[in-house]
Structure 1
């Protein structure tokens, strides 16, 4: 009988240069799944990414700390226990301008891909 489940014990750790930990549990890098990606992330204090306009919906759930989102020029701050859905084709910047790290989960539909994220030059 074929197993109808997959346990992920060794997520793909995405190489970064900004101190952010990205562990993709399911998605393009881990299991070639382009439908959905699920990643555990830890953003260090005073971290930020460039603005982007992804071609995927992104759901974020904050586990610990706070995370700032600039969504079409509106500043939104989420704290532990809160979540957000940002619809595809929305201009957004993710950051942690605070003094403590932020731990969170991110789910992208379709899966995160560098070809779909549309990051702006800083």
Structure 2
């Protein structure tokens, strides 16, 4: 038995907003509820509803820019920057810019649709 897991077939989360989500580790991929790691690409003009997740979320921007509205404060991250947003904080993620944004997201505990608490 190997002491590692090589992930080369991530779970592609179905979306309707043009965003690519490839979960490498997490509940959808390997049943891990402790952590999720996903590679994402958000197209220009993409946004999600406000949410108050029950998990900490770390984001590292690979390419482009991503906008966060965190408790009413607007923060824009550029390539090479990262952020941690604590659980139970109201946040909106978006890419209101003209180029796509590529990033890595890590959630602890793992992302789940039941714990994201998106506003309708």
- Return the offset for 1:17: 0.1
- State whether structure 2 residue 105 is matched by structure 1 residue 111: no
User: Number of residues paired by the alignment?
Assistant: 120
State the partner residue of 1:101: 100
Q: CA RMSD in A?
A: 0.3
Q: State the TM-score, normalizing by the size of structure 2.
A: 1.00
Unaligned runs of 5+ in 2: none
Cα drift, residue 39 of structure 1: 0.1
Q: TM-score, normalised by structure 1?
A: 0.98
Q: List per-residue Cα deviations over 1:63-88 (Å, max 9, x = no partner).
A: 00000000000000000000000000
Gaps of 5+ in 1: none
Runs of 4+ in 1 over 3 A off after TM superposition: none
Task: Tell me by how many angstroms 1:105 deviates.
Answer: 0.1
SS in 2 for 1:59: strand
